[in-house]
Amino acid sequence: PRRRENKFTQETRDMLSSMPKKKVRWMLSDHLYQYQNFWYRAEEIQGILRMQRNFKALDSDLIISTYPKCGTTWLKALSFAIINRHHFNTATSKEHHPLLTNNPHLLLPSLDYHYSNDQNPDLKCFSVNNRLLSTHFHLEGLLECIKDSKCKLIYICRDPKDTVISYWHFMAKLGPKNLETSSLEEFFEKFCEGVVGNGPFWDHVLGYWKMSLQFPQKVLFLRYEELKREPNHHLIKLAQFLGYPFSAEEENEGVVEEILKLCSFDHLSNLEVNRNGKMAVRKAEIECSAFFRRGEVGDHVNYITPAMVERMDKITQEKFLDYGLQL
Ligand code: A3P
């Protein structure tokens, strides 16, 4: 890991003091700041400002963009395995693959994290050919950096009811141990209001959805639920989009299935690195296992009431009504 600049720059401090802010109690930082209509932690504001000034995407860049807890870890693993499959053997039983000993997040640089720590971070990748990068930033925040580039974006979204449950569990693990965990009701309410990290969820999704309709060669829009339901079909689509299509021979040899098995929830979550490993994230060290909980569709029914389901479905319908998007 590179040296971290813990202090905020004067520019960041000036910007922060001019932004709307809200107190939250489930995070290490205790405020969220609103920038371009989205809510971020102070470190992320510093990251986004620096990224907007300094990051210019290369034509060959592949950027995994997600709202948190929508399947980032899975999509990172799958994309990494696809684009590097001629260098690393994907069969889980055969030999060393970086995914067997590294948490997927550590195999590709996160723009948000790296720019919050550094003006000009080293975005060197494990990936052999294209740079495979990731971000949780909203699309508008990224536009200036990608507008002159032929880079591609891969977005994944998920039913917000499962997303909020996943997010709440994650925050409970990530949050400061000495602080009381926010109740699910409180977190759910803030999520519906959009005042959680990278929120509002619906605006985040819509930004990428609209661009995927307008520029389907530029943005691939995936859904967690569809990837679960028809993994082979979507993996083939993903590989084509990334520019690494499977040959007929590879399909016959079972390479698609090998990659799906390598990156499956059961396989990744049971690896030693993901069971007991830790990774440094900002001021905290988090357990790699925090990124693997249940990995199922519809888990919200175990946590939220029918009234909460109705409330969220109503928001989703209203927000997406004019855009032909259903989650
Ligand atoms: P749950 O909390 O519902 O289990 P992100 O990677 O964006 O942080 O999202 C985390 C969610 O994806 C968690 O959902 C996690 O369990 C699930 N997940 C992680 N790895 C996965 C995999 N390989 N396949 C399917 N789901 C996975």
The string of pLDDT tens digits covering residues 256-265 is 999 999 999 9
Q: Exposed, middle or buried by CB within 10 Å (0-12, 13-18, 19+), for 264?
A: middle
| Confidence at residue 206, expressed as pLDDT on a 0 to 100 scale | 98
Pocket of ligand 1, candidates 291, 294, 302: which has the most ligand atoms within 8 Å of its Cβ, to mutate? 291
- Classify 37 in phi/psi space as left (phi over 0), alpha (psi -120 to 50) or beta: left
What do you get for the CA distance between the two ends of the chain, in Å?
Answer: 37
Instruction: Give the confidence band of 171 by pLDDT, cuts at 50, 70, 90.
Output: confident
The string of pLDDT tens digits covering residues 123-157 is 988 777 899 999 999 999 999 999 999 999 999 99
Q: What is the pLDDT averaged over residues 33-49?
A: 96
pLDDT surpassing 90 at residue 7? no
pLDDT surpassing 70 at residue 115? yes
The residue whose CA is least distant from atom 5 of ligand 1 is 69
State the Cα–Cα distance between residues 212 and 220, nearest whole angstrom: 6
| Confidence at residue 24, expressed as pLDDT on a 0 to 100 scale | 84
Q: What is the pLDDT averaged over residues 74-84?
A: 97
What is the average pLDDT score of the chain? 92
Kindly write down the DSSP assignment for every residue of 23-69, as one continuous string: E-SSSSSSEEEEETTEEE-HHHHHHHHHHHHH----TT-EEEEE-TT
Q: What is the pLDDT averaged over residues 95-110?
A: 92
State the Cα–Cα distance between residues 107 and 110, nearest whole angstrom: 10
Residue 294 CB less than 6 A away from ligand 1: yes
State the Cα–Cα distance between residues 260 and 278, nearest whole angstrom: 24
State the Cα–Cα distance between residues 315 and 300, nearest whole angstrom: 16
Instruction: Give the confidence band of 93 by pLDDT, cuts at 50, 70, 90.
Output: low
The residue whose CA is least distant from atom 17 of ligand 1 is 295
Residue 175 CB less than 6 A away from ligand 1: no
Pocket of ligand 1, candidates 65, 72, 73, 136: which has the most ligand atoms within 8 Å of its Cβ, to mutate? 73
Q: Which residue has the higher pLDDT, 204 or 180?
A: 204
The percentage of residues in the chain with a pLDDT greater than 90, rounded to a whole number, is: 80
Q: Which two tokens stand for residue 22?
A: 């809200």
| Confidence at residue 323, expressed as pLDDT on a 0 to 100 scale | 94
How many degrees, rounded to 5, is the angle at CA 279 between CA 288 and CA 62?
Answer: 85
Residue 169 CB less than 6 A away from ligand 1: yes
Pocket of ligand 1, candidates 72, 262, 265, 281: which has the most ligand atoms within 8 Å of its Cβ, to mutate? 265
Separation of CA 292 and ligand 1 centre (Å) = 5
| Confidence at residue 25, expressed as pLDDT on a 0 to 100 scale | 72
Q: Which residue in the list 105, 114, 136, 204 is annotated as catalytic?
A: 136
3-state helix, strand, coil in the chain (%, to 5): 50, 10, 40
Q: What is the pLDDT averaged over residues 280-302?
A: 90
pLDDT surpassing 60 at residue 89? yes
Instruction: Give the confidence band of 4 by pLDDT, cuts at 50, 70, 90.
Output: very low
Q: What is the pLDDT averaged over residues 72-90?
A: 94
Q: Which two tokens stand for residue 318?
A: 């209203």
The residue whose CA is least distant from atom 22 of ligand 1 is 265
Q: What is the pLDDT averaged over residues 101-113?
A: 94
Q: Which residues contact 183 (CB under 8 A, 6 or more apart)?
A: none
Q: Which residues contact 272 (CB under 8 A, 6 or more apart)?
A: none
| Confidence at residue 94, expressed as pLDDT on a 0 to 100 scale | 64
| Confidence at residue 6, expressed as pLDDT on a 0 to 100 scale | 52
Q: Is 138 a catalytic residue?
A: no
pLDDT surpassing 50 at residue 75? yes
The string of pLDDT tens digits covering residues 271-280 is 999 999 998 8
8-state DSSP, 190: H
How many Cβ atoms from other residues are within 10 Å of residue 252's Cβ? 10
| Confidence at residue 174, expressed as pLDDT on a 0 to 100 scale | 77
The percentage of residues in the chain with a pLDDT greater than 70, rounded to a whole number, is: 93
The string of pLDDT tens digits covering residues 203-245 is 999 999 999 999 999 999 999 999 999 999 999 999 999 999 9
